[in-house]
Structures are given as C-alpha cells and as structure tokens.
Amino acid sequence: MYSYSDGANTAGVLANETFTFGISSNNVTIPNIAFGCGNLNEGSLYNGSGMVGLGRGPLSLVNQLGPRKFAYCLTYFFSPISSPLLFGSMANFNNTGVITGPVQSTPFIINTALPSLYYISLIGITVGTTRLPIPASAFALNPDGTGGVIIDSGTSISYLQTDAYNLVKQAFQTQVNLSMVSDDNFGLDICFPGPSPPFMTVKIPSITFHFDGANMTLPELNYMLYDGSTGLYCVGIGPSTDGSIIGNFQQQDMYVLYDLENGMLSFAPARCDQM
C-alpha cells in the first residue's frame, strides 16, 4: 500500500507499459515506464484518473524520464482547462506572455530520512500586515528527519505545524469581523459565514509565506474555499502534528519550476489557462 500526505492511499499492482506524451502532432513515446494500477483506493482524487509521481524516488516519473528540470502551472481548481506539465528544456520562464509577476527562487533542503520529498525553508508567515511570531522550531527540520516544510503537488490544501497553525488561526479570528466556526464538510476550522460568491463583502486578510530568499503572497482564490452546502468561507489550511506542507491549492495560477540540477525551486504568478 502507498500512502500520500493528505491521507489518501492506494493498493494494487505494479506494471510496465509504453507511455505517450504530448499532443498528437508532436508525440514522444517512451517504453517500459513503471506505473501502479490501484485496485483499492481511499481518499479523493477530485475526479482525476490518477496521480503522477514527481518526487525524487526511483519510481517517480521524473526519475524514470531523467530530466533535471520540470515545471507545472496549475489552473484554478474548478477550471475545465488542463494544467500543463513540462520537462527538460521546456521547463523555463521564457513564456513571458503568461507570467504576471516576478520570478522568485528558494533552495531545496535535503532530508536524508525522506530523500524523495522536496523540502524548502519556510521562515515566517504574514497574515494581512502582521508578521506572526512563529518560533523557528515550528518549521525546523530536525536531525531525526521529522518536522520541516515540503512543497507537494499531490496534496490538496496546505498543512502547518500546530504552533504555526494556531497563530494563523488567531490572526484570522482577530482580523476578520465575523464569528469563526468549523466546517465539518470540508474538515476545516478557520471558517466564516458569508453570502454566496461573488457577493463577498467581508474583508479577508492576505497570506504571505516567507521562504529563504523568496516571498509567496497568495491571491484570495488560493486560500479561501466556499462551501455552498453550509454557506461558509474557509481558509484552505489545516493543522499538522509533524511537518508542514505547501499544497497544490495554494499553488493555483502559479508557474512552479523544480531545478534539480541546481537545487532550486522557482515560482511566479501566471495565467496557467493560457499556456
């Protein structure tokens, strides 16, 4: 059985097959790609037909194809347009027509206990205009391999170590002039009642993740979810008793490039649906 960071898991058979990538006019066919066929799956794929492994492990698609760079640009969660995934020389920031902001970079950190994951250094969080007093220990990668912060395209929302999460929750409770409630449907507890979109009139504070050498300021669509069944707006971040995860919901409409050769993660806001 293989488990994912958000609690989803799958069990089945491992096989090899010829994979074809690209569009019909410019296909690339590669034989003997290992993949899993899940017979018993738990958790939500959000109507997807599977999950692509992009980690450093030997069976990930990245390691099987061999490129030292790859990038993705995730369209908005409910968009009918597919998100592009680029490998090798195609993974670059040359498509300036879709990049809408500055390119920023932060180095990867190697965790020898979990070498397949992409660890980065998160040094702080700002909610609104308030830099939160999060202790350095909240995001530290410990000598035994616990803790730390990973960026993951396969985990839906972000998860923050408990001390950091509680300070984020407290900041929203202070800055949003509404009663905070929990949403059992989404499993989130930084939630507020509000009118149906797009009639949201409540001022929601911004969120900025401060990495080593880079700042990721999230647009509201990248951290606020609306639950139509309850009428609640929720911050798409949950608590974690161990390490922290930057999930794919927070990476929407963002061009994210993994440079494995130079050990750097780069990102920039982008119009992903126009790629």
Provide the 3-class DSSP secondary structure of residue 171.
helix
CA 63 to chain CA centroid, Å, is 20
Instruction: Specify which of 79-83, 84-88, 102-106, 179-183 reaches the highest per-range mean pLDDT.
Output: 102-106
CA 56 to chain CA centroid, Å, is 16
Question: pLDDT digit string (tens) for 196-239?
Answer: 655 556 789 999 999 999 999 999 999 999 898 998 999 999 99
- The share of the chain scoring above pLDDT 70, in percent, equals 93
CATH of the domain at 178: 2.40.70.10
The CA distance from 166 to 52, in Å, is 32
CA 12 to chain CA centroid, Å, is 26
**Token representation of residue 17:** 């097959």
Same-domain check for residues 186 and 158 = yes
Structure confidence at residue 40 as a pLDDT band (50, 70, 90): confident
Range of the domain at 104: 69-274
The CA distance from 122 to 215, in Å, is 10
250 in a structural domain? yes
pLDDT value at position 31?
94
- Beta-bridged to residue 187, according to DSSP, are none
Same-domain check for residues 93 and 131 = yes
132 in a structural domain? yes
56 in a structural domain? no
pLDDT value at position 205?
95
Beta strand pairing call for 224-227 and 149-151: unpaired
The CA distance from 146 to 265, in Å, is 21
Same-domain check for residues 31 and 81 = no
Are 44 and 8 a contacting pair, CB within 8 Å? yes
Same-domain check for residues 44 and 112 = no
Return the minimum-mean-pLDDT range out of 22-36, 60-74, 93-107, 260-274. 22-36
Total number of residues shown for the chain: 275
Are 178 and 190 a contacting pair, CB within 8 Å? no
Q: How many domains does the chain have?
A: 2
pLDDT value at position 43?
74
pLDDT value at position 109?
98
Structure confidence at residue 44 as a pLDDT band (50, 70, 90): low
Closest listed residue to residue 239, CA positions, set 162, 168, 157, 164: 162
Same-domain check for residues 221 and 167 = yes
Same-domain check for residues 23 and 112 = no
Return the minimum-mean-pLDDT range out of 45-59, 106-120, 124-138, 179-193. 45-59
Classify residue 1 by burial, with Cβ atoms within 10 Å: 0-12, 13-18, 19+. Answer: exposed
